[in-house]
Structure 1
Amino acid sequence: MAIRLLLLALGLSELLAPQKVVDFWMSLATTESDVELRPWVYTVARLEGLVIVLWVLAAGRGGGDEAEIEA
């Protein structure tokens, strides 16, 4: 459940503010500060955020945990 909430927060942040999220991760990944990203990178990050949010919401509609189903 906690992982789903973290994924939902990441997906929403990528969906709403992709430039901040991508710039944050690029600053961790590279030591150079003059890296220029292509404009489509932010669009793909926004799409990734949408896919993550939809996946988390679809997984939440599963009806409960697997342990409850077995019991």
Structure 2
Amino acid sequence: MRAHLLLAAGILGLIEAVAPGPLVRVLTRVAYRNAEDAEPKSWVLAAARIEGAVVVAGALVGLFRLANADGSKPNARDAGNYPTDSGS
């Protein structure tokens, strides 16, 4: 369930980072009664792009941590400490 939420947040953040204009228009229509009268400032689209990139990064970090949270400790092979054959 948590992975699904992180994936949904990542997809929404990607949409916001790539195409902030349509998303801002849709959310403005949802938030305001007279959305036709609302005009965003010039910095809103840049801020939406940055916010989208941050959400994508957070979702990726969360998914990565969730994938590596199996509770097992790394063994010698995972750490790159392969046993050597010094006896031969």
TM range (shorter): 0.7 to 0.9
Query: What is aligned with 1:4?
Result: 6
SS across alignment from 1:36:
coil
Who wins on radius of gyration, i.e. which is larger?
A: 2
Q: Percent identity over the alignment?
A: 29
Task: Indicate which of 19, 22, 39 corresponds to 2:21.
Answer: 19
> Structure 2, unaligned stretches of length 5 or more?
73-88
Q: Which runs of 4+ in 1 moved over 2 A?
A: 63-66
Bigger relative contact order, structure 1 or 2, given CA contacts below 8 A and separation 6+? 1
**Where does residue 40 of structure 1 map in the other structure?**
43
Which residue does 2:58 correspond to in 1? 55
Matched letter for residue 46 of structure 1: R
Return 5+ residue gaps in structure 1 as ranges. Answer: none
Q: Distance in 1 between matches of 2:9 and 2:46?
A: 19
Decide which structure has greater helix share: 1
Structure 2-normalised TM-score? 0.70
